[in-house]
Amino acid sequence: MKFFLTTLLGTMLFLNISAQQTKSNKDSFKTEHFITNPILKGFYPDPSICRVKDDYYIVNSSFEYFPGIPIFHSKDLANWEQIGYVLNRPEQLNLDSVRVSGGVYAPTIRYHNDTFYVINTLIGMPKGGNYYVYATNPAGPWSNPVWIKDAPGIDPSLFFDNDGKAYYTGNGRPVDNTPDSKRRHIWVQELDLKTQKLVGEKSIILVGGAMVNAANAESPHIYKKGGFYYLMIAEGGTGDNHAVTVFRSKNITGPYEANRKNPILTHRNLGRNFPIACTGHADLFETQKGKWWMVLLAVRPYGGFHYNLGRETFIAPVIWEDGWPVVCPNEGRVLFKYPQTELGFSPFKATPEKDDFNADTLSYDWNFLRTPRKSFWSLTERKGFLRMHLLPEVITDLVSPAFIGRRQQDTSFSASLNMTFVPKNDSESAGMVLFMNKDFHFRFEKLLISGIGYIKVTRRLDGIDSILASVKYTGNTVVLGVFAKGQDYGFKISSDNVNWKLIADKVDGRTLSRTNSGGFTGAFIGLYATSKKQQSNNYVDFDWFSYKGLD
């Protein structure tokens, strides 16, 4: 009997401990979450962030794409949902004929007195320069641009001091610069939001940055902590020499002292084989729990020092030591994953892999090239289809063609679309385009050649076209499929989405690498239709589009 009671008590104790361990493991599972880098995959460069109570908002550069300045929301820093665009009306953003990688540069988002502000630069347009917009709801609507006179340079930022005054911070060229010099200065000036004008004197607070022979001092942000004003900038250009440096002063107009440990972040010392490169263009913020983080841009090279995805948004932890920020403490480099337990876990509904075009509006994934001035597409003319009318504009010109695209977000992926298209003559074509810019892309089109139906794959490399595949196809409906494993791309076709014919394989995807193409954008996968500078009343119906990351 004694043995039985001892055994019973032991069993009960074991079960109680096991139950507590199980509960502890479940609780740990509930609270131990991770932030995975990049937090915004694909072409989302130049991030800026602000917090309003428990909510976080990020904006990014959009360059020649419309709508301009995507805006994302999160509650936990790990899960981000796009809630709209800051510049989504043609009267807000004129990108007509803007050059490759011109357009919308480096926005900064800030919040003050129940109002959101986004300030940025428009490059390459007759009416360009620096301006800001404002809104009481970050999802919009946002105001029309308020253009700021006598505000040279790019990458402007706003800072709101404790006394309510607003300050504009920008960069510029020193008067003694040689024409080819990349040396820049940083300046600050009060901005009167009532009159919407700069007031008082400009103060040059930094010339040339902190690094020896530093180039392109830009992306200035001012913060206030512990009685100091902190000026954080990017230096070294946006390539693999990119770096973040920081300075501080007791007065907003200076003088500023440099952190002796500058740069506080760079990956240039890690070499081009490191899986995260070009770290820079950062923005600091503090959580409601008192912890500090930094958002920044970086790239994921693959297939050599190539990055088709463009510059992406990453995040990194920050602590403060001796009155200075320390980025990525204990590591000294940005990692792909960080634990995050303090803010909980607030996932959003995942974007479906397949867009069936059943909605009445396009999802936020889709963009146009430059400002669309013609109504060339419809989701209602044929319900359940995206109907795209052919335009004379061609994607190899600085125009707004019949193009609707989304970002490539993975180094390996598969994408396909189902379309019904009957070309009427040899000038008409429609299909898919893998697009970096007008001189670097792939066109995967259904067309006529001497009146006979074909599917053709064309590579455009440095402005020169070469045909990679051309096969006869006489059906009205076709499924076009593209797949990539790293820098190896393949093109295939099907009439039923079941039986496939490979028409081009092991195609070098580095055609889409920013290393080759230059500029500041990343690769898009788009729907495209053209009548090649001829007038046409024809159209193509896209039944669905599918994208799946395979990383």
Is 482 buried (19+), middle (13-18) or exposed (0-12) by CB count in 10 A?
buried
Whole-angstrom CA distances from 432 to 405, 453, 455, 470, 492 are 9, 16, 11, 15, 12
Contact 328, 335 (CB under 8 A): yes
* Alpha-carbon span 314 to 305, nearest angstrom: 19
Contact 71, 57 (CB under 8 A): yes
Opening angle at CA 285, ends 284 and 290, nearest 5? 135
* Alpha-carbon span 434 to 408, nearest angstrom: 9
46 included as an active-site residue = yes
Sorted by sequence, the CB contacts under 8 Å of residue 178 that are 6+ apart come out as none
Determine phi and psi for 527, rounding to 5 degrees. Answer: -95, 135
Strand partners for 420? 477, 541
| Three-state SS at 439 | coil
286 included as an active-site residue = no
Q: Which of 46, 190, 283, 355 is catalytic?
A: 46
> Tokens for 177?
């610069």
* Alpha-carbon span 506 to 410, nearest angstrom: 18
Whole-angstrom CA distances from 27 to 24, 34, 90, 294, 348 are 5, 15, 50, 28, 21
Torsion on CA atoms 505, 511, 512, 518, rounded to nearest 10: 170
**DSSP H or E segment with residue 123:** strand 115-123
Contact 548, 525 (CB under 8 A): no
> Tokens for 450?
């001497």
Q: Where are the beta strands (DSSP E) in 208-311?
A: 218-225, 228-235, 243-249, 257-258, 265-266, 277-286, 292-299
| Three-state SS at 180 | coil
Q: Which of 64, 155, 190, 218 is catalytic?
A: 218
Scanning 420-533, the segments in alpha helix (DSSP H) are 514-517
Q: Which residues of 192-222 are buried (b: 16+ CB within 10 A; e: fewer)?
A: ebeeeebeeebbebbebbbbeebbbbbbbbb
Q: Which residues are catalytic?
A: 46, 218
